[in-house]
Structures are given as C-alpha cells and as structure tokens.
Amino acid sequence: MSIRLRLTLLYSTILALTLIAFSVALYVTLSGALYNGVKETLVDETKRLIYNPKFNPYTGDLQLQASKVTAPETYAQLRTINGILEDPQRHRSPSLIAQGFDLPLCHECLQAVQAGNTDLQIATIENRRFMIQSTSVSIRDSTFILQVGRSLTEQDASLRELSRLLIIGTGVATLIAFGIGWALAGAALRPIDRITQTAHAIGEDRDFERRLQYTGPADEIGRLATTFNAMLSALQSAYKQEAQALQAQRRFVADASHELRTPLTTIRGNIGLLQRVPPISTDDRIAVLNDMAEESERMSRLVNDLLALARADAGRPLRRDRVAIKPLIDDVCRSAHLLAPERTITCINELNVQVMGDHDALKQVLLILLDNALKFTPASGRISVTTAVQDQRIAISVSDTGIGITADALPHIFERFYRGDTSRTGAGAGLGLSIAKTLVEGQQGVISVQSQPGKGSTFTISLPQVEYSEPLTIPAREESVQAV
C-alpha cells in the first residue's frame, strides 16, 4: 500500500472516529434531554392529578379528573394497590379511553410502587413507545396506584431523524476528507516522487552529474533534496576517483607487462642462441650468459619494485615509530658507500632529532634517491645528504651535481614507469621515485624536487618532527658514516 493511500486512510479514519464520537455524544445528550422533558411532564401531570382527585358526589366513587390531564398525548390511569384496574371507564383519562388500551404495569414495577417508590418504565404498546410513571397515592384512607404515561413517538422520530443526519453527515464528511486528503498527500509527496524518478534515472544512466531541481522551502522535503544532491556530489567524486584509479591500474598493468616483456624476450632469444647446433663459440656463450644474468637481475629488480608498489596500493600500514634521524642517515650513507665505494658521497648530519615514521621505509626512500643520484651524476660529480629543521619538520635532502631534470620532465618524474630521456638514463623501470613518493606520503611526509638541467638536482623529504622523550641512543658504528 502506498504512503499516499496510507496517510489518506489514516487521516480519514481519525476524522471518521472523531465524528462518530461527536455524533454519539450529541445523540446521547439530546435523547437524555428529550426523555428528561417527557419525565418532567409526567411528574407535573402526576402532581396535578394527585392534588385534584375527583369524586362522584352521589356514590362517593373516585374518578380521574380528565380535564387535569393537559399535556398532549398524555394518559392517566388509576389502579388499586394490587395493580387491578377496577373501573376502566372512570379510572382512565378520556384520552386513554379514546386510544382503547390500558397503561401496562409490569410485575417489578408493581412491587416497586407497593414498596412506596415511584416507578418509571418504558413500554411498547401497538408499536409505539410510552414512558409511564407509576406512583402510589393515598386517597381517603385507601392507597391507589396512579399511572401517568406519555407517548414517545415525537421524541423517537426526532432522534431517528437526528441519527440519520449524523450517519449521513459523518459518511459524507469522511468521503470529502478522503478526497481532499488524497489530493493534499499527493501534492506533498510529489517532490519525493520526483526524487525517486531522478534517482532511478541516475542509477540507469550512471549520470552522477545530474542534480535534483527543488525550489520549495527548506522543510523536510527540502532537506531531503539537499542531502540527496550532496550525496550525488559525493558519489560523483567517488565515481570519478574510481574511474581514475581503474585507468591508472590498467596503465600500470600494461606498463608492467611491457617492462617484463623486454627482459623475457632477450632471455628467450639468448636461450635460442645457446640451443644452436652447432653450438656458438665459447666467447659468445659467455657474452650470452652475462646478458641473461643482467636481464634476470633487471627483471627481479622490477618485480621487487612492483611488489613494493602493490603493497603500498593495498594500503599495507606503515609503522609509526620514533625514528632517530642521525643513525638512519649514517646507515643509509654506509650502504651507499658500499654500493659505490669509488664515488664521493658527503653526509652532513649533526641533528639529534626524531621523526614519526617507519625506519625501513625511510631507509628505502633515501636509498632510491641516492641510487638515482649515483645513476644521474658523472663519476666526477658530488653527492650529499643533509638535514635541516624547518617549522617543526625535519627536511632530509639528497643533492647531486648530475645531469639535472628538464622543466618538461619535472612534473612527471614521480609518475609510475616514467623515465626521462632514455638515452641519458640508466636501466631503471621508472618506478623508484613513485615508490619513494608513496612511502613518504604514507608517513605524513612530503617529497619535493628542485633541479636545473646540467647543474644537478636536490630531492627533499620533509617529515613531522617529534619531541624527544628520552636521550637518543646513537649506534657505536658512527665513525664510518662519512664517505668522501
């Protein structure tokens, strides 16, 4: 059942119940008033008759004084205390004689009157209802029962008419209320209908740019429309993000396959050479095997890089430890020196500070930067690692006096699989800086670059500093840090 119908039915039912309660109250009050009026008439008539008994002057017989029964459709009758109507002619009012029936007296009524009470009964005579009051009266040492009755025809007819009117009125009012309620509920729910249609259309077309046009007041529906539009905006941006991420993922998979294809093709070609009959010369075989070893190494480096990126993408949480900068840089410089003992790498690091982050991830980032610096700087060039404190942040810079990066390439170097001029670059797959960026940002850090072609580059990572809670423990191997 629709909300519209439910609301309308609810309102109509409430109205109908209210009208019924009102009608019942009105009917009860009015019938009470009407019957009370009849009762009062009976009391008045009884009094009048009691104080004015009439006796036959010759026989001394008691007779009802007919002229005293003044109210219309009112009848009187006198019974003995045993309930017997002795003389129907003299003991009935002329109006009753004219009707041709007696006023009945039920057994209980008789007992009540004999006990000295006044009894009031409603009796049906010839399909007409009568209210009859029976009272005991003492006249000249004898006790009689005086019955005064009145027809309720008029009152019953009035009440019948009233109930008819109330029933029809209630029915018609309920029907009108249902009609108006149906129209009003329809008008009130129309914007919701529009929202539903728009939502349906958006779902069908996947058109998250569409918005709900609502010009009404900022009531419940207005708030629903605003919230709905806000939700659409959020959905739109989420959808865009998802589409971008999907595109990036597709590009990534394509690039990764492409990168893996080259070493695999080389290895396959080389295997073909090794399988040749007659076999190739020993010198050629050594050259082919060296080539294969080199390609395998490149492939395993690439797979390692891909794994690192895949883990970062999967949102694997990095550690959030206090990392002392000095031992970290000493460690990195030592590793770089071992990798390229013939190169000049200067590590200037006098800061006893800590950052919040992952020690291993930071070391990996610095090694990537140093590896690039070594790759893109001629043997005669200089490479240095320096630290500085700026606005509660620690900046670690890796500078070189290498080939530098052109302004065109600069915005792209952190992209996955981006490599500068391949004739100038080494054998990297273009993943190093994107891994570094992901790892730094995973620690609330920022990585930036400044470079001048032909003069060199400086990569800086900046991380939030943490206050010291205890003195730093500096490893004993500190003296081997400087590698000049």
By the criterion CB under 6 A, which residues form the site for ligand ADP?
A: 372-373, 376, 400, 402-405, 409, 413, 418-420, 425, 428-434, 457
Cα Rg, the chain, nearest whole Å: 56
Q: Is 447 in contact with 414 (CB distance < 8 Å)?
A: yes
Other Cβ atoms within 10 Å of 314 Cβ, number:
7
Pick the closer one to ligand ADP by CB: 325 or 383.
383
Determine the Cα–Cα distance for residues 64 and 54; give it in Å rounded to an integer. Answer: 6
Residue 439 CB, nearest approach to ligand ADP (Å): 13
Pick the closer one to ligand ADP by CB: 149 or 428.
428
Residue 335 CB, nearest approach to ligand ADP (Å): 17
Q: How far is CA 260 from CA 264, 268, 299, 304, 421, in A?
A: 6, 12, 7, 12, 20
Cβ-based neighbours of 5, under 8 Å, separated by 6 or more: 182
Pick the closer one to ligand ADP by CB: 324 or 333.
333
Residue 299 CB, nearest approach to ligand ADP (Å): 14
Q: How far is CA 132 from CA 139, 148, 150, 196, 343, in A?
A: 21, 6, 6, 70, 133
Residue with tokens 């008033």: 33
Closest CA to 105 of 132, 80, 124, 139: 132
Residue 324 CB, nearest approach to ligand ADP (Å): 26
Other Cβ atoms within 10 Å of 170 Cβ, number:
18
Phi and psi angles of residue 281, each rounded to the nearest 5 degrees, phi first:
-65, 160
Determine the Cα–Cα distance for residues 383 and 387; give it in Å rounded to an integer. Answer: 14
Residue 228 CB, nearest approach to ligand ADP (Å): 44
Closest CA to 178 of 2, 7, 18: 7
Determine the Cα–Cα distance for residues 414 and 183; give it in Å rounded to an integer. Answer: 63
Pick the closer one to ligand ADP by CB: 41 or 266.
266
Residue 314 CB, nearest approach to ligand ADP (Å): 20
Pick the closer one to ligand ADP by CB: 23 or 425.
425
Pick the closer one to ligand ADP by CB: 130 or 376.
376
Determine the Cα–Cα distance for residues 70 and 309; give it in Å rounded to an integer. Answer: 115
Helices (H), 206-324: 220-274, 282-313
Pick the closer one to ligand ADP by CB: 109 or 373.
373
Residue type, 418: Y
Residue 300 CB, nearest approach to ligand ADP (Å): 14
* 3-state DSSP percent of the chain in helix, strand and coil, to 5: 55, 20, 30
Pick the closer one to ligand ADP by CB: 353 or 362.
362
Residue 278 CB, nearest approach to ligand ADP (Å): 40
Pick the closer one to ligand ADP by CB: 155 or 457.
457
- Helix 282-313 and helix 432-441, axial crossing angle in degrees, nearest 10: 20
Phi and psi angles of residue 209, each rounded to the nearest 5 degrees, phi first:
-85, -15
Q: Report DSSP letters for 384-431, one per residue.
A: EEEEEEETTEEEEEEEE-SS---TTTGGGTTSTT--S-TTTS-S--S-
Residue 345 CB, nearest approach to ligand ADP (Å): 13
Residue 449 CB, nearest approach to ligand ADP (Å): 8
Pick the closer one to ligand ADP by CB: 158 or 425.
425
Q: Report DSSP letters for 64-98, one per residue.
A: --GGG--STTEEEEEEETTS----TTTSB-HHHHH
Pick the closer one to ligand ADP by CB: 149 or 404.
404
Pick the closer one to ligand ADP by CB: 263 or 402.
402
Residue 398 CB, nearest approach to ligand ADP (Å): 8
Residue 250 CB, nearest approach to ligand ADP (Å): 20
Cβ-based neighbours of 452, under 8 Å, separated by 6 or more: 404
Say whether 192 sits in a helix, a strand or coil: helix
